[in-house]
Structure 1
Amino acid sequence: MRINLPTWLTLFRVLLLPVMVVVFYLPFRGASLVAAMVFVLAGFTDWLDGYLARRLDMTSAFGAFLDPVADKLMVAVTLFLLVQSAPTGWPGILLAVTAAVIVGREISVSALREWMAEIGARSKVKVAFLGKLKTMMQMVALVVLLLQHDAETLRLYHIGEALLVIAGILTIWSGLDYLRAAWPALRGDKNS
């Protein structure tokens, strides 16, 4: 198997995750800014690998498999870091519940897509605009929360928290859309 440039970018995104984790925990001034910058770089490679794969017609089976895995790892790892370091009380509870909803939906929709592909109906659960909007909201929220995770004042933390809750609501909504699209097949309808 020959790995093309878009797939190398996806692999680079996966390799950025441990870098972000290490930076997140390092005790130096500006660590949260650097962790957020690593996250933004990973997000940029996500856009770039997709753009290059389409523009240069460099799609591959391995790249198509690895890209969504890298995306989900990026979000899940970042959410775990933020929940672990969240303030105590309601802000931490809200963040933990929202993170559980987001990760739970990602696992559920991935399993649903895999099952629909097995029965030859994957096109019924393809990525929709709502899913893209949810992803964009998550990314912005995670950058804000990464920037603020160890700040002396939580000026932007509550904005990031609110954006993540909105992303959580969009997560549920888009997950229900996927479920609705797959429902005939899940019920066992012969005409689905």
Structure 2
Amino acid sequence: MFELNLPNLLTVIRILLVPVLVAALLQEAGPGESLAAAVFAVASFTDALDGWIARRQKKVSTFGKLMDPLADKLLVTAALVSLVSLQRLSAWVAMVIIAREFAVTGLRQLAMEHGEVIPASIWGKVKTVAQVAMVLLLITVDGSPTWLDVFVWLTTAITVVSGADYFFGFRSLVQARLRGEPQS
């Protein structure tokens, strides 16, 4: 059941901003890039804000646990696919990032089905900040300066390391369970 509270409302707003982002990015004339950057920045901010509010006000809900990560994936995937369409991002970079996002989400879901929680790691948080910065830079910077190419490569590497970190964490959980050790 959808509980109407501020964190869940922010998640729904983030989902509703996805088509606005895509439309702004793909429009051929006018202030599309500025609007797209603003929409992406606001949507990214709601991601941090809804989680913070939910934990602080003890408003964590089943809807939020399911829809918050989905909203994040929709936002990032829509931005990356649009940037590939605009030839501002290589398709392989988008696919690496999107594949990591869905693989880790699936892994977390699998762990949850077994009563385990894989919390966000420091690598996951660094990855999120890097991806948000990368998308904003790809929207707002004209051309493809070398420093931006390096930042895209760095973000991709952080994304891969973050994904590996989650998989090794999951592996440790499974091994501990097989040995009968208490879970942390």
Question: TM above 0.5, one fold?
Answer: yes
Compared CA separation, residues 71 and 160, structure 1 to 2 (3 A): farther
Q: 1:32 to 1:158 in 2, by over 3 A?
A: farther
What CA distance in whole angstroms lies between the structure 2 residues aligned with 1:189 and 1:4? 36
Which residue of structure 2 lines up, in the alignment, with residue 40 of structure 1?
A: 41
Q: Encode CA deviations 1:13-56: one digit per residue, 9 max, x unaligned.
A: 11001111111122223311111111001011112212221222
Q: Partners in 2 of 1:158 and 1:83 — Cα distance?
A: 18
Q: Does 1:15 align with 2:8?
A: no
The one-letter code matched in structure 1 to 2:123 is L
CA contact 1:6–1:52 (8 Å) conserved in 2: yes
What is the total number of aligned residue pairs between the two structures?
179
Distance in structure 2 (CA, Å) of the matches to 1:7 and 1:36: 23
Whole-Å separation in 2 of the counterparts to 1:184 and 1:138: 27
**SS of alignment partner, residue 101 of structure 1:** helix
> What is the letter of the counterpart of residue 115 of structure 2?
G
Distance 1:138 1:29, change over 3 A: same
Normalising by structure 1, what TM-score? 0.84
Q: 1:65 to 1:30 in 2, by over 3 A?
A: same
Q: Residue 127 in 1 paired to residue 120 in 2?
A: yes
Q: Secondary structure at the match of 2:164?
A: helix
Distance, in Å, in 1 between the alignment partners of 2:176 and 2:45 is: 41
Match of 1:177 in 2: 165
Q: Is the 8 A contact 2:14 2:46 kept in 1?
A: yes
Map 1:107-186 onto structure 2 (within 5 A). Answer: 107-122=102-117, 125-148=118-141, 151=142, 154=143, 158-184=146-172
Q: Return the alpha-carbon distance in structure 2 between the equivalents of residues 10 and 161 of structure 1.
A: 31
Of stretches 24-33 and 158-167 in structure 1, the one that deviates more from structure 2 is 158-167
Segments of structure 1 that go 5 or more residues without pairing to the other structure are none
Distance in 1 between residues matched to 2:6 and 2:149, nearest whole Å: 35
**Alpha carbon RMSD of aligned pairs, Å?**
2.1
- Equivalent position SS for 1:183: helix
In 1, Cα distance between equivalents of 2:55 and 2:173:
31
Question: For the Cα contact (< 8 Å) 1:138–1:163, is it kept in 2?
Answer: no
Q: Could you tell me how far 1:159 is from its partner in structure 2?
A: 3.7
Quote the offset at 1:187 in angstroms.
7.3
The amino acid across from 1:3 in the alignment is: L
Moved over 3 A (4+): 157-161, 184-189
